[in-house]
């Protein structure tokens, strides 16, 4: 092994990233501060008597926020709150797909591509099952990967705590990124 190889640590051609996000849910305006429920860029109709949506500075897409943070984290880049501060009026009501695109652009500039995404959304109502395929297809489109490289799971919080009482929506995401061409 050469001297330089001894001094430079091994860098594998892949990295894992994790992202988490939560938004409080409130009744739609004008009754409350909730925005329309959007998950993975797909608008969900309210279910049951729960006319609620996320309270957020942007469009409140908890799934896109978790995935964006997972991607940025994998590449060792600043997180979504640092890149897109919720104090900046420019991000008011902003389509979170634009946050994801910015993350992808930054990753590509560093020579990374997305290998796969696996995410879990925790929400009492509405059920995301009927929307899963549409969410998956839209995420694949945004990430420019095949739908088979994207997986989404929907869970409830079994009535426990704030998420279980329908007061919040939560998402977890893990991603694998790899060196382009590796
Ligand atoms: Zn968020």
Running DSSP on this structure, what letter comes out for residue 28?
B
Q: Give just the sign of the alpha carbon dihedral 91, 97, 98, 102.
A: positive
Give dist(CA 176, CA 15) in Å, integer: 6
Per residue in 25-44, pLDDT (tens digit) is 999 878 899 999 999 999 98
C-alpha torsion 17→124→146→96, nearest 10: -70
Tell me the CA–centroid distance for residue 121 and ligand 1, in Å.
12
Where are the extended beta strands (E) located within 5-50?
14-27, 38-39, 42-43
Tell me the CA–centroid distance for residue 54 and ligand 1, in Å.
9
The pTM for the full model equals 0.92
Residue list, CB under 5 A from ion ligand 1 = 21, 65
Asked whether residue 45 carries a pLDDT value surpassing 60, the answer given is yes
What is the mean pLDDT of the segment spanning 79-87?
A: 90
Tell me the CA–centroid distance for residue 125 and ligand 1, in Å.
18
- Minimum mean pLDDT among 1-5, 15-19, 156-160: which range? 1-5
Sheet of strand 14-27: strand arrangement: 52-54, 14-27, 168-179, 112-122, 150-155
Tell me the CA–centroid distance for residue 7 and ligand 1, in Å.
40
pLDDT-based confidence at residue 48 (cuts at 50, 70, 90): low
Tell me the CA–centroid distance for residue 108 and ligand 1, in Å.
23
pLDDT of the residue at 1 = 46
pLDDT-based confidence at residue 8 (cuts at 50, 70, 90): confident
């Amino acid at each position: 092994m050469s001297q330089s190889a001894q001094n430079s640590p091994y860098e594998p051609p892949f990295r894992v990233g994790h992202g988490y996000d939560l938004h409080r849910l409130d009744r739609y305006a004008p009754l409350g501060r909730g925005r329309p429920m959007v998950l993975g860029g797909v608008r969900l109709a309210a279910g049951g008597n729960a006319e609620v949506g996320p309270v957020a500075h942007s469009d409140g897409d908890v799934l896109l926020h978790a995935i964006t943070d997972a991607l940025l984290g994998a590449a060792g880049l600043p997180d979504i709150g640092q890149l897109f501060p919720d104090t900046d009026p420019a991000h008011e009501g902003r389509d979170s797909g634009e946050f994801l695109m910015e993350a992808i652009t930054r990753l590509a500039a560093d020579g990374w591509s997305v290998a796969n995404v696996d995410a879990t959304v925790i929400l009492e109502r509405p059920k995301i099952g009927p929307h899963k395929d549409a969410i998956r297809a839209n995420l694949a489109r945004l990430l420019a990967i095949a739908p088979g490289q994207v997986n989404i799971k929907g869970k409830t919080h079994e009535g426990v705590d704030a998420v279980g009482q329908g007061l919040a929506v939560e998402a977890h995401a893990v991603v694998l990124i790899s060196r382009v061409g590796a």
